[in-house]
């Protein structure tokens, strides 16, 4: 009897061990994509889901380390940018193969660049390299050495290659052959994308074990954040890459060890006034909106600390300027944020002819100071910020109407009819380099929201910003570029065309069974080192 018991226990232990072994051999990371990937071609990435798949599958020549924000070699052992900023040469690693076994060489890089720069492809990634008229030429110097020449200098040229996944020039699988840690194994539209471990991935760990550690990644397509959170709480997902402050706190209240606040992200929320010359708004209002003193007084009357604390439950920081402190290199740390000072704001307004009568602010001509703020319906954070700003400005006698509009109506008003007075929206920054913001700061740009597509700069300070932005874009000296962009930030701070409200924190949730994750503020916040992530045995798919 006793022997049977012992035997029974032994069998049980054996099964448990085998079970855990099988679980370990089937490590699958699961998380959600919030949008449908429309295209799996890494050169045609246009949304977050496609960006995620490119990041996890694409092999790149150089990679921006999301933690240090420094550029590191990947498929390229080394690289060199010419003094005139028009040419970059890469020395490639040897002995690397694509996921289907075809060898990697300089010909593949040349092929990728040709594809990328083909105007017929309409690649947004390729557009970042277009600095002037003319063609981009590639010259293969050896099987592992090539030079790429651009028609005009490209600022921050080497960092742009972080976004370029190398394609195979020989593989019949085309973009199906990859150099990244994972390869797309299955795509079920509307349901999921399954990525399997790339057996030929070139990276190895310190013990010469081939990376990645994970066998697969399942990306569930789930736009509903409530359902995503529910699945995470049930243990059906291993991470939530980006979490709202409300969900963060809800999760933190029950499982504080699962949530991570990496501090201010690159994303900002801002308010601006409509300064378009022919906008269908009363002329006296346009005069206020075009007054620097008026805009600065408004900036001073808004309590950003309260916005961060109340609206984002403390998971945001009062914004200082156009660049978040999260952007370590480009942030101008000499800028001082506008202090919350309603009395000071009122004094500033009185100095330029406004007057407070029975709690109502009036301009020089006796017009009541009142305006509407539009924002997109359904975004509770922006709606709450607008309502709080409404109360803040009431203290200086300004009446604000908050109007929430469906997104298409809002976009139509702020980009075409210009039939609005002030707006609150956010900017999602994915690029550290100021070149990514050219479409905002140039007065001729369509996204120069307060007064877009100007034929020539309408103010002296906008002309100065144009000059500085062009100067930094045409220089390859990082120090000179920084000087120019610091000045742009200072001008924006002084003139307040955008009143920056908050920088949201990068919030994420990570299961305790996922090891090696170190959340950062740059995207992708949680799986930037996906090839080094591991899942503990108990988190195998058998959950």
Which positions lie near another protein, rule CB under 8 A?
Answer: 225-226, 229-230, 246-247, 250, 306, 309-311, 313, 370-372, 374, 377-380, 383-384, 386-388, 390-391, 401-406, 408-409, 412, 419-421
| Tokens found for residue 244 | 């709202």
Q: Which lies closer to another protein via its Cβ, residue 103 or residue 235?
A: 235
Q: Which lies closer to another protein via its Cβ, residue 416 or residue 456?
A: 416
Q: Which lies closer to another protein via its Cβ, residue 63 or residue 285?
A: 285
Q: Strand pairing partners for 403?
A: 374
CB of 402 to another protein, least distance (A): 4
Q: Which lies closer to another protein via its Cβ, residue 231 or residue 290?
A: 231
Dihedral sign for Cα 280, 284, 290, 292, please.
Answer: negative
Q: Which residue has the tokens 């051999």?
A: 25
Kind plus residue range of the DSSP H or E element containing 202 = none
Provide φ and ψ at 96, rounded to 5°.
Answer: -105, 145
Kind plus residue range of the DSSP H or E element containing 139 = strand 137-142
User: Left if phi > 0, otherwise alpha if psi is -120 to 50, otherwise beta: which for 387?
Assistant: alpha
CB of 423 to another protein, least distance (A): 10
CB of 400 to another protein, least distance (A): 10
Specify the 3-state DSSP secondary structure of 64: strand
Provide φ and ψ at 157, rounded to 5°.
Answer: -55, -50
Asked if residue 243 lies in contact with residue 251, where contact means CB atoms within 8 angstroms, the answer is: yes
User: How far is residue 389's CA from residue 374's CA, in Å, rounded to a whole number?
Assistant: 12
CB of 151 to another protein, least distance (A): 44
Specify the 3-state DSSP secondary structure of 423: strand
CB of 221 to another protein, least distance (A): 20
Asked if residue 466 lies in contact with residue 443, where contact means CB atoms within 8 angstroms, the answer is: yes
CB of 283 to another protein, least distance (A): 15
User: How far is residue 6's CA from residue 282's CA, in Å, rounded to a whole number?
Assistant: 90
User: How far is residue 453's CA from residue 415's CA, in Å, rounded to a whole number?
Assistant: 10
Q: Which lies closer to another protein via its Cβ, residue 38 or residue 380?
A: 380
The full 3-state SS of 342-405, as one line of letters, equals: HHHHHHHHHHCCCEEECCEEECCCCCECEEEEEEECCCHHHHHHHHHHHHHHHCCCCEEEEEEE
Q: Which lies closer to another protein via its Cβ, residue 60 or residue 259?
A: 259
Q: Which lies closer to another protein via its Cβ, residue 258 or residue 311?
A: 311
Q: Which lies closer to another protein via its Cβ, residue 329 or residue 407?
A: 407
CB of 480 to another protein, least distance (A): 44
CB of 527 to another protein, least distance (A): 24
Q: Which lies closer to another protein via its Cβ, residue 302 or residue 374?
A: 374
CB of 361 to another protein, least distance (A): 15
CB of 304 to another protein, least distance (A): 13
- In terms of Cα–Cα distance, which of 373, 419, 371, 421 is closest to 396? 371
Q: Which lies closer to another protein via its Cβ, residue 41 or residue 372?
A: 372
Dihedral sign for Cα 258, 262, 263, 268, please.
Answer: negative
Provide φ and ψ at 233, rounded to 5°.
Answer: -65, -30
| Tokens found for residue 80 | 């060199």
Asked if residue 352 lies in contact with residue 291, where contact means CB atoms within 8 angstroms, the answer is: yes
Q: Which lies closer to another protein via its Cβ, residue 311 or residue 535?
A: 311
CB of 284 to another protein, least distance (A): 13
CB of 126 to another protein, least distance (A): 36
User: How far is residue 456's CA from residue 439's CA, in Å, rounded to a whole number?
Assistant: 15
Asked if residue 235 lies in contact with residue 543, where contact means CB atoms within 8 angstroms, the answer is: yes
Q: Which lies closer to another protein via its Cβ, residue 314 or residue 436?
A: 314
């Amino acid at each position: 009897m006793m022997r049977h018991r012992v035997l029974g226990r032994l069998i049980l232990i054996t099964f448990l061990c085998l079970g855990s072994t099988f679980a370990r051999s089937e490590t699958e990371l699961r998380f959600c994509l919030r949008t449908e990937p429309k295209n799996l071609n890494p050169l045609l990435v246009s949304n977050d889901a496609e960006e995620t798949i490119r990041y996890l599958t694409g092999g790149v020549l150089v990679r921006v380390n999301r933690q240090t924000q420094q550029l590191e070699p990947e498929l390229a052992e080394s690289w060199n940018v010419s003094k005139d900023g028009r040419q970059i040469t890469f020395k490639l690693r040897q002995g690397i193969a694509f996921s289907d076994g075809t060898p990697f060489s300089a010909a593949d890089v040349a092929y990728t660049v040709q594809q990328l720069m083909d105007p017929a492809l309409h690649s947004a990634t390729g557009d970042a390299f277009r600095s002037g008229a003319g063609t981009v030429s590639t010259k293969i110097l050896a099987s592992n050495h090539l030079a790429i020449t651009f028609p005009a200098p490209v600022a921050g040229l080497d960092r742009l290659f972080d976004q370029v996944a190398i394609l195979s020039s020989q593989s019949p699988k085309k973009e199906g052959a990859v150099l990244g840690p994972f390869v797309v194994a299955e795509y079920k539209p509307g349901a999921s994308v399954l990525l399997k471990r790339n057996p030929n991935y070139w990276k190895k760990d310190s013990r010469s074990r081939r990376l990645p550690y994970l066998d697969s990644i399942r990306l569930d397509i789930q736009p509903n954040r409530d359902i995503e959170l529910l699945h995470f709480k049930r243990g059906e997902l291993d991470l939530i890459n980006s979490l709202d402050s409300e969900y963060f706190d809800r999760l933190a209240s029950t499982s504080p060890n699962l949530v991570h606040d990496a501090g201010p992200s690159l994303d900002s929320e801002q308010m601006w006034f409509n300064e378009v010359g022919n906008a269908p708004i009363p002329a006296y209002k346009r005069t206020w909106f075009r007054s620097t003193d008026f805009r600065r007084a408004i900036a001073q009357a808004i309590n950003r600390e309260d916005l961060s604390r109340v609206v984002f439950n403390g998971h945001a920081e009062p914004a200082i300027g156009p660049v978040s402190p999260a952007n370590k290199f480009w942030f101008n740390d000499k800028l001082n944020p506008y202090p919350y000072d309603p009395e000071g704001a009122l004094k500033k307004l009185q100095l330029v002819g406004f007057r407070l009568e029975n709690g109502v602010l009036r301009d020089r001509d006796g017009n009541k100071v009142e305006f509407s703020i539009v924002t997109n319906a359904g975004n509770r954070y922006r709606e709450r910020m607008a309502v709080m700003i409404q109360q803040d400005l009431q203290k200086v006698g300004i009446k604000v109407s908050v109007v929430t509009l469906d997104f298409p109506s809002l976009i139509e008003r702020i980009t075409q009819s210009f039939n609005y007075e002030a707006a609150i929206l956010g900017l999602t920054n994915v690029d550290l380099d100021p070149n990514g913001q050219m479409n905002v700061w140039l007065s001729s740009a369509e996204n120069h929201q307060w007064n877009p597509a100007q034929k020539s700069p309408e103010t002296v300070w906008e002309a100065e910003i144009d000059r500085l932005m062009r100067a930094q874009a045409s220089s390859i000296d990082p120090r000179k570029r920084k000087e120019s962009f610091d000045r742009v930030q200072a001008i924006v701070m002084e003139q307040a065309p955008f009143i920056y409200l908050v920088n949201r924190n990068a919030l994420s949730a990570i299961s305790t069974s996922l090891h090696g994750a170190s959340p950062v503020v740059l995207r992708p916040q949680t799986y930037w080192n996906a090839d080094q992530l591991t899942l503990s045995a108990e988190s195998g798919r058998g959950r």
